[in-house]
Structure 1
Amino acid sequence: MDTIYADYSVSMSEFKKNPAQVLRTAGEKPVAVLNHNRPAFYMITPKLFEALVEELSDRDLAELARQRLANKDGAVEVDIDSL
């Protein structure tokens, strides 16, 4: 059995009947759409999608900062006023 990462789930048949109603019922929560009782896809609002993209971007930036801090011995010191 697959793990479902949503508070709400609906069958593919129910989703096809009225996707807008499924979205209204879920509010801002993600919805797992099931096909033969297994997640086929997740439906999320644009607001939640944007939050997920921001979180992934923040994680990428944090990793880049960690990498650069690990290589700080090779950094060149500069005077900001001379730029």
Structure 2
Amino acid sequence: MESILAECSASISELKKNPSALIEQSDGEPIAILNHNKPTAYLIPAETYEAILEKIEDYQLGLIIKERQNEKISAVEISIDEL
């Protein structure tokens, strides 16, 4: 049996009837969309999706910073005037 990773769930039929009402009722939380009682998708409000993308971007930038810190040994110091 698959886990449902949301407190709210709705069938595809319910989603088709009134998607706006589902989003409003969820209060910003994800909604598991079920097909034959199995999760097939998760519906989240745009603000939540944007926040997730921002967190992913921050994580990826953190990885780049860690990579570049290892390159610090081979860096050449120069003054701003030399640029």
Query: Identity across aligned pairs (percent)?
Result: 40
In structure 2, stretches of 5+ residues that fail to align are none
Shift of 1:80: 2.2
Corresponding residue of 2:14: 14
Corresponding residue of 2:30: 30
Kindly provide the CA deviation profile for residues 19-74 of structure 1, in whole angstroms up to 9, marking residues without a partner as x. 11111111211111011111111111111011000001001000000111122111
Secondary structure of 2:21's match? Answer: helix
Structure 1 segments of 4+ aligned residues over 4 angstroms from their partners: none
TM-score normalised by structure 1 residue count = 0.89
Secondary structure of 2:34's match? Answer: strand
